[in-house]
C-alpha cells in the first residue's frame, strides 16, 4: 500500500457538522501536509505540520500528528457546502528531498 | 503572481499522435514537478526538476514520456506516441527552495488529456 493513505475514502455530512479525515503513512517524515482539490481544479495547500509538532490550527482546520502511530487527522469544524472537495495528505519522507508522496484522498461531500 | 500556468487546459488527440504539455512555474521557485492523476492510480509523481535539472524521473511510465526544462520559467512534458491509457489529468506544480522543513507545492490547473 502507498505512503499516505486516507480514510475514509468518501464522507458525506450535513452543513454545520464536523468532518474528520485520517491519514496513515509508513516512513519517517519531515512534515505532513494536507491539500484540497475542488472538482476539475488543481490541488491547493491547506496546512503543514512538522514532525515535531502534535497539533496545528488554521481557521476551521485542525490537524493532529502522531508520529508514533504514523498517522494524522484533519478536522474541519462547522462544515460548509463550499468545503465539498477531495482532501489529500502528503508526506515528505526524510530521505526524499523535496518530493511529496500523496495519498489517495478522501472525497468530502457537505450537504446544504 | 499568476500562479503556475499550464497549457493547454484540454487536449483531445488520436492514438499515435505526439502530445506536448506546457508549464510555467511561479517565478523564483526552484522546484518543478509533473504529476498524473487518474481515478485508478490517483496522483502519481512523474518527474521533478531542481534548478532546471531533472532529479528523479523514476515515475515516468515508459520511454514514450519525456520532460524538459530548458530554463527556469518553462517546462514541457511530451508523449510520443500517445496511447489511450495515457488519458488523464496532468498537473504541474512548483515549490520554493527547500528549507528542509517547508516545501509547500503550488499546483497549476492541470491539462485534461484524452487520447482516442
pLDDT digits (tens, 9 = 90+) for B68-81: 999 999 999 999 99
Q: Over B58-99, what HEC string results? A: CCCCCCCEEEEEEECCEEEEEECCCCHHHCEEEEEEEECCCC
Confidence at residue B41, expressed as pLDDT on a 0 to 100 scale: 87
Count of CB atoms situated within 10 Å of the CB of A84: 19
Q: What is the C-alpha to C-alpha distance for residues B55 and B34, in angstroms, rounded to an integer?
A: 12
In sequence order, what are the residues at sequence separation of 6 or more whose Cβ sits closer than 8 angstroms to the Cβ of residue A22? A6, A7, A8, A71, A72, A73, A74
Cα gap B26→B1, rounded to integer Å? 7
Q: Quote the cell numbers at residue B79.
A: 508523449
In sequence order, the 6+-apart residues with CB closer than 8 A to the CB of A40 are none
CB contact under 8 A, A41 and B50: no
Q: Which residues of A touch B33 (CB under 8 A)?
A: 99
Distance CA A53, CA B102 (A): 13
Task: Please give the span between the terminal C-alpha atoms of chain A, in angstroms, as a whole number.
Answer: 35
In the DSSP assignment, the letter for residue B39 is T
Best B60, B95, B104 member to test A by mutation, with max A CBs in 10 Å, is B104
Asked if A92 is an interface residue toward chain B (Cβ–Cβ < 8 A), one would say: yes
> Phi and psi for A81 in degrees, rounded to 5?
-55, -30
Grid cell listed for A5: 493513505
Q: What was the pLDDT predicted at A27?
A: 87
Contacting residues of A for B102, CB less than 8 Å apart: 31, 48
Judged against a pLDDT cut of 60, whether residue A82 lies above it is answered with: yes
pLDDT at position A2 is 38
Residues 28-47 of A with CB under 8 A from B: 30-31, 33, 41-45
Pick the residue from chain B with its C-alpha nearest to A88: B43
Share the mean pLDDT of chain A.
91
Which grid coordinates belong to A61? 482546520
HSE value, Cβ hemisphere, 13 Å, CA-based, for B80: 9
Instruction: Determine the distance in angstroms separating the CA of A26 from the nearest CA of chain B, rounded to an integer.
Output: 17
User: Alpha-carbon dihedral of residues B34, B36, B42, B48, nearest 10 degrees?
Assistant: -20
CB neighbours (10 Å) of residue A69? 9
Give yes or no for residue B97 having a pLDDT over 90. no
Nearest chain B Cα distance for residue A45, angstroms: 7
pLDDT at residue A1 above 50?
no
Nearest Cβ partner of B108 from A33, A42, A98? Answer: A42
Name the DSSP class of B26: P
Q: Is A105 on the interface with B (CB under 8 A)?
A: yes
Q: How confident is the model at residue A77 (pLDDT cuts 50, 70, 90)?
A: very high
Residue B16 has pLDDT above 90, yes or no: yes
Amino acid at each position: 500500500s502507498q505512503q499516505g493513505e486516507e480514510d475514509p475514502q468518501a464522507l458525506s455530512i450535513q452543513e454545520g457538522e464536523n468532518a474528520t479525515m485520517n491519514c496513515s503513512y509508513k516512513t519517517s517524515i519531515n512534515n505532513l501536509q494536507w491539500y484540497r482539490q475542488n472538482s476539475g481544479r488543481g490541488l491547493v495547500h491547506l496546512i503543514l505540520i512538522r514532525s515535531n509538532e502534535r497539533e496545528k490550527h488554521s481557521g476551521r482546520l485542525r490537524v493532529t500528528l502522531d508520529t508514533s502511530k504514523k498517522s494524522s487527522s484533519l478536522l474541519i469544524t462547522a462544515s460548509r457546502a463550499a468545503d465539498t472537495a477531495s482532501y489529500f495528505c502528503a508526506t515528505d519522507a526524510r530521505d526524499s528531498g523535496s518530493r511529496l508522496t500523496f495519498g489517495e484522498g478522501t472525497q468530502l461531500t457537505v450537504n446544504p | 503572481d499568476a500562479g503556475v500556468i499550464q497549457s493547454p487546459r484540454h487536449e483531445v488527440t488520436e492514438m499515435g499522435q505526439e502530445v506536448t504539455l506546457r508549464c510555467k512555474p511561479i517565478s523564483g521557485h526552484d522546484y518543478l514537478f509533473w504529476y498524473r492523476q487518474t481515478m485508478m492510480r490517483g496522483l502519481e509523481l512523474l518527474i521533478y526538476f531542481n534548478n532546471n535539472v531533472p532529479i528523479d524521473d523514476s515515475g515516468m511510465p515508459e520511454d514514450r514520456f519525456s520532460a524538459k526544462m530548458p530554463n527556469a520559467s518553462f517546462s514541457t512534458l511530451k508523449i510520443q506516441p500517445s496511447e489511450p491509457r495515457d488519458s488523464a489529468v496532468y498537473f504541474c506544480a512548483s515549490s520554493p527552495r527547500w528549507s528542509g522543513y517547508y516545501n509547500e507545492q503550488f499546483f497549476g490547473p492541470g491539462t485534461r488529456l484524452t487520447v482516442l
